[in-house]
């Protein structure tokens, strides 16, 4: 059975929101998950709803897998998203805000402040806020554009001596803090920026009466494609897309529930929002801002106890990364294990006089990326540095353009990806001169080269100087920079050429074993599943009796149809403190397990329209580690939700001893680190001869 992609995603976001419903979690952890669910919904409206609205406007579309038209999907989304928004605000208003008030963490209402506090805030407004604000008249021949996702204060004015009213907006600048703190409010006290501006905005309009104010927010379509086929400079094309996104259609208008109907109609007309795109919410807008409190210093009693990443057991900090990798393949599981060795590798490569070439794919990087800094240093010292920067990394395009310009100024050869495909592979190749010959060192991962998200995303890194993988890495970079076809490699399977066919072969092999009465097993961990060929192959395998275990964090468009297939299949989703991001696959293969890690989900976009990598993990110890990770996914009975045959999700059965996968993986990382420390101490101990009787 196929499940609508958009509804499946909304059900995933519901699982995120459900974390905020858990009373046993600390207060700010609950606020964090509420914030994440709101941020997710922002992106969903920009991309998925925006895309469906474009399809509806063009009239050129095919029904989705479930036979629904764009209009039918938008109606379903409107209903389900409305339920979710109501659930978010019910939780905020009835549970979280009262708890925040009790803990001294809730915003202070302006009307509850003393005269002295009001006077102090007025002085603060005049000195620190008013000079930055820019009121904009909207009822003019060419009204200015309302910005995407920004908080805007609408102000209804009546000029002195006039019966007419006029409407202006004040965009609240991102440079100003949403939670305004001042000494007059006491330690930890704050008011919301929109409340402060609304209270004192009459100072901006001398000779006029402020009749009403209301905050609102516009979400614009972010699903704007790049017309690569037209040729020209790709970087310039991306810049035009970013400009177009600022002027795109409104896909959602949010206002407070108490906004008068006439004012709603006035704002909707200016924003270009119809009734189906207008959401009235009973509380604060832009809930994502509340989540910042969970990451700021202080209030530790209201946060989960931090898990400190362990130093990877396979990495000796006293040796260079090249010496470490030369001793054997290394597998790092962040954030349970520190991502620092990966960063250390690129920084050592930049400084090492024996390194002659560095090649890397960059998809999403940190704002002050150590990877970018190291690559620039390497190029400035004369090394041959080539970087493929993916400009179509959604919502990171502007950042990636700036990073590409910085790299080019340092002498890095920058390539802007493969025409018609988004390059999503995570790979780094370093060529080093050793003993009169060249040796290749590689990093291949499931996550981005981003040292910040590596602290909150669960991903795996393989560090290797394996000759076959090194040769494949060279061939990969030659193909994507020289625009030659990604043909069959020695070990690696790239998309869009061979990855999908290899996965289908592996599923078919397990299916044949099940048909012959042999044990057959497929275990996979990914973010999303929607590719029809992959889903049909899984359905056929389950019908044949293959035991299928899928850990899919987000979208899953397949639910087994027959009772036999349902009995053989378990689909589970885990939402916990870290974002599950790794893609791992295990095929029983008649008792000789085949284990892989990949940058790709089993989605059509990844397998058919992106440049991705599927890498075998052949070293037995590392293979067993990945199998253990997969096994832990299906032991989880505290954070896991299982998919029912109708596509709904329910908490996993918990009749056994409680088991949380992420807590288990953290304990395992600590155990490996302790064992390594013990082994190191033993090696340093002097040899002591046995005592004679």
Residue 169 tokens, joined: 């907006």
**Contact residues for 365 (Cβ-Cβ < 8 A; gap 6+):** 371, 372, 399, 400, 403, 448, 449, 450
Handedness of CA 508, 513, 515, 516 (dihedral sign): positive
Closest CA to 450 of 356, 346, 530, 527: 346
Alpha-carbon distance of 9 to 48, in angstroms, equals 10
Alpha-carbon distance of 397 to 393, in angstroms, equals 6
**Contact residues for 68 (Cβ-Cβ < 8 A; gap 6+):** 4, 76
Is 220 strand, coil or helix? strand
Residue 278 phi/psi, 5-degree rounding, is -100, 125
**Contact residues for 266 (Cβ-Cβ < 8 A; gap 6+):** 154, 156, 167
- A 10 A CB-CB count for 457 gives 19
Residue 669 tokens, joined: 């990382």
Question: For the CA atoms of 403, 404, 409, 415, what is the dihedral angle to 10 degrees?
Answer: 160
Label each residue of 584-633 as H, E or C.
Answer: EEEECHHHCCEEEEECCCECHHHHHHEEEEEEECCCHHHHHHHHHHHHHH
Label each residue of 175-189 as H, E or C.
Answer: CCCCEEECHHHCCCC
DSSP letter at 454 equals G
**Is 399 known to be catalytic?**
no
Alpha-carbon distance of 558 to 528, in angstroms, equals 10
Q: Are 443 and 461 in contact (CB under 8 A)?
A: yes
Alpha-carbon distance of 540 to 534, in angstroms, equals 10
DSSP letter at 476 equals H
Catalytic residue among 424, 581, 586, 588: 424
Alpha-carbon distance of 265 to 274, in angstroms, equals 9
Residue carrying structure tokens 């007309």: 269
Is 3 strand, coil or helix? coil
Catalytic residue ranges: 424
């Amino acid at each position: 059975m196929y499940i609508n992609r958009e509804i499946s995603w909304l059900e995933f976001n519901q699982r995120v929101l459900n974390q905020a419903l858990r009373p046993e979690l600390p207060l700010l952890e609950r606020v964090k998950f509420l914030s994440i669910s709101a941020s997710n919904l922002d992106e969903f409206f920009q991309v998925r709803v925006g895309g469906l609205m474009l399809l509806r406007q063009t009239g050129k579309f095919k029904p989705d897998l479930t036979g629904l038209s764009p209009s039918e999907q938008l109606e379903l989304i409107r209903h389900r998203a409305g339920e979710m928004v109501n659930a978010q605000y019910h939780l905020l208003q009835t549970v979280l805000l009262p708890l925040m008030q009790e803990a001294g963490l809730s915003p202070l209402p302006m009307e509850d402040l003393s005269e002295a506090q009001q006077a102090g805030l007025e002085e603060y407004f005049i000195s620190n806020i008013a000079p930055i604000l820019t009121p904009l008249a909207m009822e003019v021949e060419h009204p200015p554009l309302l910005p995407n996702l920004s908080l805007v204060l609408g102000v209804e004015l009546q000029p002195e001596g006039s019966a007419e009213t006029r409407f202006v907006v004040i965009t609240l600048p991102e440079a100003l803090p949403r939670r305004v703190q001042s000494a007059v409010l006491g330690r930890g006290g704050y008011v919301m920026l929109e409340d402060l501006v609304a209270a004192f905005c009459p100072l901006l309009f001398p000779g006029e009466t402020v009749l009403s104010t209301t905050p609102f927010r516009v979400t614009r379509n972010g699903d704007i494609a790049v017309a690569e086929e037209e040729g020209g400079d790709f970087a310039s094309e991306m810049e035009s897309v970013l400009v177009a996104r600022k002027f795109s259609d409104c896909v959602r208008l949010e206002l407070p529930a108490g906004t008068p109907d006439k004012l709603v109609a006035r704002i909707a007309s200016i924003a270009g929002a119809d009734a189906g795109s207008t959401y009235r919410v009973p509380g604060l807008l832009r809930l994502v801002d509340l989540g910042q409190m969970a990451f700021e210093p202080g209030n530790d009693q209201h946060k989960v106890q931090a898990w400190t990443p362990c130093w990877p057991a396979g990495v000796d900090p006293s040796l260079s990364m090249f010496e470490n990798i030369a001793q054997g393949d290394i597998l790092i599981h962040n954030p349970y294990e520190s991502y620092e060795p990966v960063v250390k590798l690129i920084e050592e490569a930049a400084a090492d006089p024996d390194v002659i070439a560095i090649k890397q794919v960059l998809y999403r990087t940190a704002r002050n990326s150590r990877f970018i800094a190291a690559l620039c240093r390497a190029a400035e010292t004369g090394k041959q540095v080539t970087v493929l920067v993916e400009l179509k990394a959604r919502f990171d395009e502007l950042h990636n353009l700036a990073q590409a310009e910085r790299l080019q100024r340092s002498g890095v050869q920058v390539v802007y990806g493969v025409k018609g495909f988004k390059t999503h592979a995570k790979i780094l190749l370093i060529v080093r001169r050793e003993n009169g010959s060249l040796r290749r060192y590689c990093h291949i991962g499931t996550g981005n080269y981003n040292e910040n998200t590596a602290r909150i995303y669960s991903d795996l890194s393989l560090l290797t100087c394996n000759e076959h993988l090194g040769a494949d890495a060279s061939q990969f970079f030659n193909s994507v920079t020289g625009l030659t076809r990604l043909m069959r490699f020695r070990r690696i399977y790239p998309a869009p050429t061979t990855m999908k066919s290899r996965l289908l072969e592996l599923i078919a092999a397990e299916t044949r074993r099940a048909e012959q009465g042999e044990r057959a097993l497929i275990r996979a961990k990914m973010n999303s599943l929607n590719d029809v060929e992959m889903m049909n192959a899984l359905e056929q395998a389950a019908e044949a009796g293959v035991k299928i275990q899928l850990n899919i964090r987000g979208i899953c468009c397949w639910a087994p149809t027959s009772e036999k297939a349902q009995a053989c299949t378990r689909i589970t989703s885990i939402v916990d403190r870290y974002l599950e991001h790794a893609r791992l696959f295990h095929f029983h293969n008649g008792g000789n397990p085949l284990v892989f890690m990949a940058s790709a989900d089993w989605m059509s976009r990844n397998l058919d329209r992106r440049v991705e990598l599927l890498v075998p993990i052949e070293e037995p110890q590392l293979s067993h580690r990945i199998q253990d990770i997969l096994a832990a996914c299906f032991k989880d009975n505290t954070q896991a939700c299982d998919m029912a045959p109708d596509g709904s999700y329910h908490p996993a059965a918990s009749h056994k001893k409680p088991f949380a996968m992420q807590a288990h993986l953290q304990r395992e990382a600590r155990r490996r680190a302790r064992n390594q420390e013990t082994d190191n101490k033993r090696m340093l101990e002097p040899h002591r001869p046995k005592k004679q009787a």
